[in-house]
Amino acid sequence: MNIKFGTDGIRGPVESEITPEVCLRIGHAAGIVLKEMGWGTVLIGKDTRVSGYMLESALQAGFIAAGVNVRLLGPLPTPGVAYLTKSLRGQFGIVISASHNDYLDNGIKLFTGNGEKISKEVEQKIEKLLKGDLKPVPTAELGKARRFDESGARYIEFCKSTVPAELSFESLRIVLDCAHGACYKVSPSIFEELGAEVITLGTSPDGFNINRDCGSTNPAKVQEEVMKQRADFGVALDGDGDRVVIIDQNGTVLDGDDIMYILAFANPNRTGPWSGLIGTQMSNLGFEEGIRKLGYQFKRAEVGDKYVSQMLRKEGWFLGGEPSGHIICRDLVSTGDGTIAALKVISSLLMLEKNPAEILSNYSKMPQVNISVDVVNKDILSDPSILKFIKEVESDLTVGRVLVRPSGTESKIRVMVESDSESTAKKYAEDIAGMFAS
């Protein structure tokens, strides 16, 4: 099997790529690697896709065949699984999810015992084993599986503990969209137990409606409800809970850059772990300039929250993220956590006694246009004529950036153009996208 890890684990259509047979082998191969690394137990969580039960069974069979014990967590946000791998000590975490994709896709994300996504070296070891024969351990050495029913409660208490004890959300009305995904039970409870009046959207999963016209990639319903309910905030999570966008009381959507700017602005410290921030190649140039004016260093990682996490660890810094809404508050968690990012933003605004618009008025974004193009083969990006055209566009831009890359999670090419003129950015982005569509 030629199975490859992408920017966020392994992901693809269930009917053709992420099949039970594939998951059985992934579980078996990963189990062998985990045992070599000294781990004997794996935690398996999932989102609400209809394929989750099927793939969960296949994965656990693979791990058991490798002699690894399995704890089944049930539906739980990706960051919740990451938290439990660290909290329960000596465990390894697996999440069955395709994040913001629709129900036809599914995927597998792996976390080490410290709650961080596995390294490229570990991925390569698993990929190598998948190409060969895999045999079960002797019967007496097979692993065992059991349910772990406390996972949701533990994650709820952890999230609440990140809010300062002197703060209460009792005065707040919050619209919360859980994208019919893994957060549908835990996140409403978190905000309610902190005292907020919570108006929920996207909390009725049926296996097929995850991310459908809702969540962080489709925040229009939250915007509408915030205005209708005269709410203080809207919070839109994605299907596995590692992304978030926030809507202010005026219906304005705050993306990952805005969220990080608020957190950076609210932090009184500019030294040590708080001396710098990590963005990605997608982070807006205006955001970078604004962060530097606040007194921080700023560096860019490759696109993907695991690369942000790796660079944060390398630099020894606490805050990083992506415009898409992956926010890593490394002083609290080891991976992107949409619920905790939202809690931290709301807490910061309460302590500052400011609204988002007041803070965000201190920096201006450069016009940025993003286009995704469906392709049959992402290798088209290496076509000489396309590469030549991209270089021509780059040379024509006096101010701005061009980023053209294959999606790490879908069969798409992502085109991003920044310019001091929105019309210029739009024209060049459409021109480049047209090269792939033709």
Domain containing residue 92: CATH number: 3.40.120.10
Strand 244-247 relative to strand 253-254: parallel, antiparallel, unpaired? antiparallel
Structurally, how many domains does the chain consist of?
4
Burial class (CB in 10 A: 0-12, 13-18, 19+), 104: middle
Q: Does residue 76 sit within a domain?
A: yes
Strand 253-254 relative to strand 276-280: parallel, antiparallel, unpaired? unpaired
- Is the distance from CB of 87 to CB of 77 less than 8 angstroms? no
Is 246 found in the same domain as 275? Answer: no
pLDDT at 382 over 90: no
Q: Does residue 346 sit within a domain?
A: no
Average pLDDT over residues 247-262: 97
- Is the distance from CB of 336 to CB of 328 less than 8 angstroms? yes
Nearest residue to 326 via CA among 30, 8, 3, 6: 8
Is 226 found in the same domain as 280? Answer: no
Q: Helices marked H in 164-269 — which ranges?
A: 186-193, 220-229, 256-266
Strand 276-280 relative to strand 297-301: parallel, antiparallel, unpaired? parallel
Q: Is residue 119 very low, low, confident or very high in pLDDT (cuts 50, 70, 90)?
A: confident
Average pLDDT over residues 151-163: 97
Percent of the chain with pLDDT over 70: 99
Is 287 found in the same domain as 224? Answer: no
- Residues 387, 179: Cα–Cα separation, whole Å: 37
Percent of the chain with pLDDT over 90: 84
pLDDT at 89 over 80: no
Strand 92-96 relative to strand 69-75: parallel, antiparallel, unpaired? unpaired
Is 130 found in the same domain as 61? Answer: yes
Average pLDDT over residues 69-86: 95
Q: Does residue 400 sit within a domain?
A: yes
Average pLDDT over residues 286-294: 97
| pLDDT, position 40 | 84
- Is the distance from CB of 90 to CB of 39 less than 8 angstroms? yes
Average pLDDT over residues 199-208: 98
| pLDDT, position 116 | 85
Is 142 found in the same domain as 49? Answer: yes
| pLDDT, position 377 | 85
- Residues 339, 194: Cα–Cα separation, whole Å: 13
Helix (H, G, I), strand (E, B) or coil at 430: helix
Q: Is residue 1 very low, low, confident or very high in pLDDT (cuts 50, 70, 90)?
A: low
Question: Can you state the percent helix, strand and coil of the chain, rounding each to 5?
Answer: 40, 20, 40
Q: Does residue 319 sit within a domain?
A: yes
- Residues 371, 282: Cα–Cα separation, whole Å: 12
Domain boundary among 251, 277, 293: 251
Average pLDDT over residues 393-409: 87
Q: Does residue 432 sit within a domain?
A: yes
Averaged pLDDT score across all residues of the chain: 94
pLDDT at 205 over 70: yes
Is 114 found in the same domain as 83? Answer: yes
Domain boundary among 199, 216, 251: 251
Is 132 found in the same domain as 209? Answer: no
Is 233 found in the same domain as 176? Answer: yes
Is 205 found in the same domain as 123? Answer: no
Q: Is residue 90 very low, low, confident or very high in pLDDT (cuts 50, 70, 90)?
A: low
Q: Does residue 156 sit within a domain?
A: no
- Residues 289, 311: Cα–Cα separation, whole Å: 20
Q: Does residue 5 sit within a domain?
A: no
Question: Known catalytic residues?
Answer: 99
Is 55 found in the same domain as 144? Answer: yes
pLDDT digits (tens, 9 = 90+) for 120-153: 899 999 999 999 999 999 999 999 999 999 999 9
Q: Where are the beta strands (DSSP E) in 101-243?
A: 105-111, 145-147, 173-177, 197-201, 233-237
Question: Over the Cα atoms of the chain, what is R_g?
Answer: 22
Is 19 found in the same domain as 63? Answer: yes
Q: Is residue 3 very low, low, confident or very high in pLDDT (cuts 50, 70, 90)?
A: confident
Nearest residue to 203 via CA among 193, 195, 215: 215
Helix (H, G, I), strand (E, B) or coil at 201: strand
State the DSSP string of 282-309.
Answer: TS-HHHHHHHHHTT-EEEEEPSSHHHHH
What tokens appear for 216 in the block? 């962080």
For the domain that residue 380 is a member of, what is the CATH number? 3.30.310.50
pLDDT at 281 over 90: yes
Domain boundary among 150, 175, 192: 150
Q: Is residue 172 very low, low, confident or very high in pLDDT (cuts 50, 70, 90)?
A: very high
Average pLDDT over residues 398-404: 90
Write the CA distances from 228 to 107, 169, 170, 231, 253, integer angstroms: 36, 20, 20, 8, 15
- Residues 213, 246: Cα–Cα separation, whole Å: 16
- Residues 30, 187: Cα–Cα separation, whole Å: 30
In terms of residue numbers, what domain contains 297?
A: 255-336
pLDDT at 376 over 90: no
H or E segment to which residue 405 belongs:
strand 400-406
pLDDT at 13 over 90: yes
Task: Count CA atoms closer than 13 A to 411's CA, side-chain side.
Answer: 9
Is 146 found in the same domain as 29? Answer: yes
- Cβ-based neighbours of 12, under 8 Å, separated by 6 or more: 18, 105, 106, 107
Q: Please name every residue paired with 92 in a beta bridge, in sequence order, or none if there are none.
A: 42
